[in-house]
Structures are given as C-alpha cells and as structure tokens.
C-alpha cells in the first residue's frame, strides 16, 4: 500500500520512444472512455504571473475508472522565453494516486508524457479525419519545436505517409532542424518555407506554436484537414468557416482559444460538429465540401492514462526508482 516510485525522464523517454503504437492505442481508447463518462476531468487551473504574461503553470487533475483506476495531477509549466536559451518551453511532473486509498504511488517526469499524448492525439485525429490516407498529399507544420517534432514522429507511427512535409517557423533554425529530423527519421522530403501562405495551402496543416492570439485570417479550403494543436493561431472567422471537431467541447470553450473566440463572436456553438470520439465511433459524419479543424484543449485524463502505462513499463523494466519510507507515518496510532 505504501510503495512510492519515481520515474525519471530518461526512463520515460525510452519507454515512449519504443512503444508509440501502444500510446496511440491508449489515447484513442481514453477518448472513448472519456466520451462514455468513465473519467473525471475537471477544468485546468492556470497560475499566471503579472510580470510574465506569456508564461504559466497549469494543473490538470483527472481520474480514470475502467481498467486504470487511478487519479492524478499533471503540473506543467509553459515558459516560451526558455527557447531563447535553447531550453525547452515546457517542463512537467505527473503525480499518480491510488483510487482505493488516495495515497500517491508515483511521480513521473511528465514533459515527455505531455508531448507524447499531445502528439498521439494529433495522429489519432489525422488518421480519423483523412481515412483515405496521405498518399499524394503534403503535411505542413507551422512551428518547429518539441511538440512539432513529436507530432511528426507519431504521424509516422500512425501510418500517415505524405509525399512531403513543409515546415514554417519564425525562427528559421528551428524550422531547419525539424525538416532535417523528418528527412532523417522518415526518409521523406521535407522543405522549409518562410512563406506562411505557402504552408497554409497544404492538404493537411498542423499548428504547434506558442502564439497567444490569432494571426491566420484566410479561410481553409474544402478537403483540408487542420490540426489546431496550439489552439490560438486561427481567427474566429476561420473556425466558423469549417467543420469543427474537439477532444472535449466544453473544455475548449475557454481561455480565449480560437473556438472560444468564435463562440464569443457568434454567441452560440452552432459551428461545433462533434468530438473525435464521435468520429472514431462513426457517430459524427463529416463532409468533403468544407475543411475540418481538430481542436484539442488537452485532457488530463490522457496524461493519466499514458503515465499509468509508463509506470507499469518502468516497473517491469526495472527503471522505476523506489523510494522506501516515503511516507512518514503509515498507522493512525
């Protein structure tokens, strides 16, 4: 009952890199569990700083029943200026709690978990929203950071095989690094463009930036798939001109995300087509005459599900570090 483990970053990263297929399955299954009401996923709590308006630390609590039976909390910081010093924007820890007793059972380095679940979410959506596959098409990635790199890795793991990638980032070295990564890992053409408009013409467009407000005002065309991972790149009129799929509608309608701005502009949610779980279960039907935008706010339940899997694997591999006597008292009297 009173065991407590720490899973360091190297162990998390090695587990995730070698088991991307499992992570894709876990994310798809968790979306379905969430849709079926088998999770508790409260609103995230944002800690902001008056003198650092671009930075925040977010608490994402969650519970998953079914076959997981764990509660937990992801505590993740986003400090975009870190990238100016070559340091990743995000850092995180994940605490897992036993559902029976409430006692914490482990803490895991979670920046890798967060990146993996975000990327897997994008890849699950990509396969569901373009069921005909990616042959004969291009994928453009706007933003060249850690999340973008992970998304490209998970797109490959999910079998998304475009003819080429196109990368755009205001920081050209980041764009060049991501393009080189795609060429090296996928043996697939990947070019860099300084022209955002050219990237927006690709059949599939992935947004993975640190933008705080919309800068894309041109509409997308019929048949385009947009993975709106960073959530704030698109002006509300762009959202209103598309079919819109969410991980969780209620969660996305807050914090001035692009869908939230669309709701504020119109005063309604008539632009909502449904959830990704609905698409996966063929309960949401999309048409080819309009673009599709997938907007995932990011569910703490996904971090919990992936983290539980990582903990299980780390214990089996012997890479989890046990902390004896972590709890000072284990008896009431």
Place of tokens 């924007």: 89
What is the mean predicted confidence (pLDDT) over 293-297?
97
Mean pLDDT of 260-268: 98
pTM: 0.94
Q: How confident is the model at residue 215 (pLDDT cuts 50, 70, 90)?
A: very high
Look at residue 329 in the predicted model and tell me its pLDDT.
86
pLDDT at 177: 98
CA distance 278 to 245: 9
Residue 198 has what pLDDT?
98
**71, pLDDT greater than 90:** yes
Q: Give the model's pLDDT for residue 142.
A: 98
Question: For position 89, what pLDDT does the model report?
Answer: 86
Mean pLDDT, rounded, for 93-98: 98
1 pLDDT more than 80: no
**Chain segment 2-21, per-residue pLDDT in tens:** 899 999 999 999 999 999 99
Q: Cβ distance 262 to 239 under 8 Å?
A: yes
Higher pLDDT, residue 80 or 31: 31
Residue 39: φ, ψ to 5°: -125, 160
pLDDT of residue 330: 87
> For residues 250-271, b (16+ Cβ closer than 10 Å) or e, as one string?
ebbbeeebbbbbbbeeeeeeeb
pLDDT of residue 88: 87
> From the CB of residue 65, how many other CB atoms can be counted at a distance below 10 Å?
15
Residue spans per domain, the chain: 5-113+300-322, 129-295
Asked whether 165 and 191 are in contact (CB, 8 A), the reply is yes
Burial of 217 (0-12, 13-18, 19+ CB in 10 A): exposed
Measured in whole angstroms, how far is the alpha carbon of residue 188 from the centre of its chain?
A: 23
Q: Are strands 321-322 and 5-7 parallel, antiparallel or unpaired?
A: antiparallel
> To which CATH superfamily is domain 5-113+300-322 assigned?
ornithine cyclodeaminase, domain 1 (3.30.1780.10)
Among residues 191, 208, 5, the alpha carbon closest in space to that of 122 is found at 208
Q: Is 315 exposed, middle or buried (0-12, 13-18, 19+ CB in 10 A)?
A: middle
Which residue is listed with tokens 């063929």? 282
> How confident is the prediction for the chain on average, in pLDDT?
96
Collect all residues with Cβ–Cβ distance below 8 Å to 244 and sequence separation of at least 6: 259, 271, 272, 273, 292, 293, 295
Superfamily name with CATH number, domain 129-295: NAD(P)-binding Rossmann-like Domain (3.40.50.720)
Tens of pLDDT, residues 17-68? 999 999 999 999 999 999 999 999 999 999 999 999 999 999 999 999 978 9
Strand 138-142 and strand 104-109: pairing?
unpaired
């Amino acid at each position: 009952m009173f065991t407590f483990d720490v899973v360091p970053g190297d162990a998390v990263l090695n587990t995730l890199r070698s088991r991307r297929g499992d992570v894709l399955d876990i994310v798809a299954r968790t979306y379905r569990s969430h849709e079926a009401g088998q999770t508790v996923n409260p609103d995230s709590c944002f800690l902001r700083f008056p003198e650092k308006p671009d930075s925040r630390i977010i608490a994402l609590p969650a519970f998953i029943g079914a076959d997981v039976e764990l509660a937990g909390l992801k505590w993740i910081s986003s400090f975009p200026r870190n990238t100016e010093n070559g340091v990743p924007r995000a850092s995180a820890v994940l605490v897992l709690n036993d559902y029976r007793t409430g006692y914490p059972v482990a803490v895991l380095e979670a920046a890798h978990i967060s990146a993996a679940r975000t990327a897997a979410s994008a890849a699950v959506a990509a396969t569901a929203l373009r069921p005909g596959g990616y042959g004969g098409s291009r994928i453009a990635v706007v933003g060249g950071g850690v999340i973008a790199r992970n998304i490209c890795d998970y797109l490959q793991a999910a079998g998304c095989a475009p003819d080429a990638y196109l990368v755009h980032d205001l920081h050209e070295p980041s764009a060049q690094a991501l393009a080189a990564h795609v060429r090296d890992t996928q043996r697939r053409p990947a070019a860099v463009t300084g022209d955002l408009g050219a990237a927006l013409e690709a059949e599939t467009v992935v947004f993975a930036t640190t933008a705080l407000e919309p800068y894309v005002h041109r509409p997308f065309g019929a048949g385009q798939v947009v993975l709106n991972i960073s959530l704030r790149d698109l002006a509300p009129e762009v959202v209103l001109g598309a079919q819109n799929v969410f991980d969780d509608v209620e969660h996305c309608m807050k914090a001035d995300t692009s869908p939230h701005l669309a709701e504020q502009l119109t005063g309604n949610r008539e632009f909502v087509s449904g959830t990704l779980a609905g698409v996966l279960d063929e309960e949401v039907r999309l048409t080819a005459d309009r673009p599709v935008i997938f907007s995932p706010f990011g569910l703490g339940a996904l971090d919990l599900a992936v983290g539980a899997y990582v903990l299980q694997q780390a214990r089996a591999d012997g890479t989890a570090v046990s902390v004896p006597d972590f709890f000072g008292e284990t008896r009431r009297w």
